[in-house]
Amino acid sequence: MARDFLRYGMVGGLGFIGAVHRAANRFDFKTELVAGCFSRSEEKNKEAADTFNVERVYSDYKEMARKEAELEDGIDFVSVVTPNVAHYEICKEFLLNGINVVCEKPLCFTIEQAKELKKIAEEKDLMFGVTYTYMGYPMVKLAKQMVEEGKIGKIINVNAEYPQEWLIDALNGDSSTTAKLSGWRSDPAVAGAANCIGDIGTHIENVVAYVTGLKIKRVAAAVDYFGQDLDLNANILVEYDNGARGVYWCSQVSMGHYNDLVFRIFGTNGSIEWHQENPEYLKVCLRNKPMEYYYRGTGNIYGNALANQRVPSGHVEGFHVAFANIYRAYGKALLKKMNGEELTKEDMDFPTVDDGLEGVKFITACVESGKKDSEWVTL
């Protein structure tokens, strides 16, 4: 009988984003959380399992990977929602045990690690998702479609940014606040080579690549550390393989911006603009036409964007729903694969280990350019 339901496990996930992963998985009655290794603290681990009604709780992710692989009704995939440093080892462990993976971004610390994970996943024929959330928004999908259709012509310039304000206290010597706020993200041993670029800069890279289909050739980055071990702000010149250029800006110390991912794509025939903090519309400006705003849920939405809508226009589908869309796409594809069906390009419309690898390349190049006084660094 064809499978129509997935069991999954979680490693980590007691921060806010873990709750989002779980809610996202529950939107569609297609996945159930059945196993977990939620915390190194035995107490927290148990408590979490209780709260989530999870019976199979493990204190060691390796044991979890091994045992779940042996169970007949073991997990079909694992969600890895730990601090960055652990992604590589955990993903690898589950892959080696033959279990599909969804991992938070950034995928891992080094390009080598990312390539290795990709290689194992391919060799083992496993499905590997990476939660670059913003690909899940219908209006981002509409933007991608419009670019593909040539609506804005050949792309000539990109201006994209992702400013936040939450680490501003780091600039004001308030280390306790900083510690409280930032936790592991500003510790190189846990976060990796970058903080700001790794946490949010990589989202810019991902969403622009998704929408434009362009590959970055090289970057020239002015990376600001403001006396900290890891970066808090970066202005990055970007050059794409088609010769177009642009600027990415990410920041965690920019007052008045909360989670303000914005992209503006300019072509020879028009432009497209999207704001994550108000995600329901797409601004489209074409030659010889008035400025247009496409709204989610209206009759002007089509294709994959339409397929990813859940409620009528004006009922805002926010962050959780975008996340749910990622998991729904991943889950659908995984079920098809498990049932031996052919996967189409549309089926694979979710972020994979390839996106994860591109992200690590981008982070690595930006950090290197920053160290070299903003020299161009090829990806």
Interface residues for a second copy in 264-303 (CB under 8 A)? Answer: 264, 266-271, 273, 276-281, 283-295, 297-300
Task: List the structure tokens of 375.
Answer: 């020299």
Residues 93-122 touching a second copy, rule: CB under 8 A, are: none
Among 3, 44, 180, 315, binds a second copy (CB under 8 A): 315
Could you tell me the smallest distance in angstroms from the CB atom of residue 159 to a second copy? 6
Of 119 and 372, which has the nearer Cβ to a second copy? 372
Query: Judged by CB under 8 A, does residue 220 bind a second copy?
Result: yes
Query: Judged by CB under 8 A, does residue 156 bind a second copy?
Result: yes
> For residues 186 and 229, is the Cβ–Cβ distance under 8 A?
yes
Among 63, 179, 226, 344, binds a second copy (CB under 8 A): 226
Among 15-23, 71-79, 325-333, 355-363, the segment contacting a second copy (CB under 8 A): 15-23
Of 93 and 317, which has the nearer Cβ to a second copy? 317
Could you tell me the smallest distance in angstroms from the CB atom of residue 318 to a second copy? 3
Spell out, one character per residue from 50 to 89, where the chain touches a second copy: x when CB under 8 A holds, - when not.
Answer: -xxx------------------------------------
Task: List the structure tokens of 144.
Answer: 């991608």
Task: List the structure tokens of 78.
Answer: 């694992």
Query: Judged by CB under 8 A, does residue 373 bind a second copy?
Result: yes
Taking the C-alpha atoms of residue 319 and residue 154, their distance in angstroms, rounded to an integer, is 31
Could you tell me the smallest distance in angstroms from the CB atom of residue 211 to a second copy? 16
Among 23-31, 107-115, 339-347, 351-359, the segment contacting a second copy (CB under 8 A): 23-31
Q: State the SS3 of 103-125.
A: ECCCCCCCHHHHHHHHHHHHHCC
Residue with tokens 């030659």: 287
335 — phi, psi (to 5°)? -60, -45
Could you tell me the smallest distance in angstroms from the CB atom of residue 378 to a second copy? 13
186 — phi, psi (to 5°)? -100, 10
Could you tell me the smallest distance in angstroms from the CB atom of residue 157 to a second copy? 6
Give the total of residues touching a second copy (CB under 8 A).
Answer: 91
Taking the C-alpha atoms of residue 149 and residue 155, their distance in angstroms, rounded to an integer, is 12
DSSP string, 109-168: S-HHHHHHHHHHHHHTT--EEE--GGGG-HHHHHHHHHHHTTTT-SEEEEEEEEE--TTG
Edge to edge, the sheet with strand 155-163 lists 281-286, 270-275, 262-267, 155-163, 245-251, 233-240, 216-224, 377-378
Spell out, one character per residue from 163 to 182, where the chain touches a second copy: x when CB under 8 A holds, - when not.
Answer: -xxx-xx-xx----------
Residue with tokens 């390839």: 354
Residue with tokens 């989002």: 20
Element holding 44 (H helix, E strand): helix 42-51
Among 47-55, 58-66, 70-78, 208-216, the segment contacting a second copy (CB under 8 A): 47-55
Taking the C-alpha atoms of residue 177 and residue 194, their distance in angstroms, rounded to an integer, is 20
Amino acid at position 346, single letter:
E
Could you tell me the smallest distance in angstroms from the CB atom of residue 130 to a second copy? 18
Among 26-34, 69-77, 191-199, 209-217, the segment contacting a second copy (CB under 8 A): 26-34
Query: Judged by CB under 8 A, does residue 224 bind a second copy?
Result: yes
Of 188 and 314, which has the nearer Cβ to a second copy? 314
> For residues 306 and 4, is the Cβ–Cβ distance under 8 A?
no
Q: Give the side-chain half-sphere CA count within 13 A for 256.
A: 0
Query: Judged by CB under 8 A, does residue 247 bind a second copy?
Result: yes
Among 69, 306, 336, 376, binds a second copy (CB under 8 A): 376
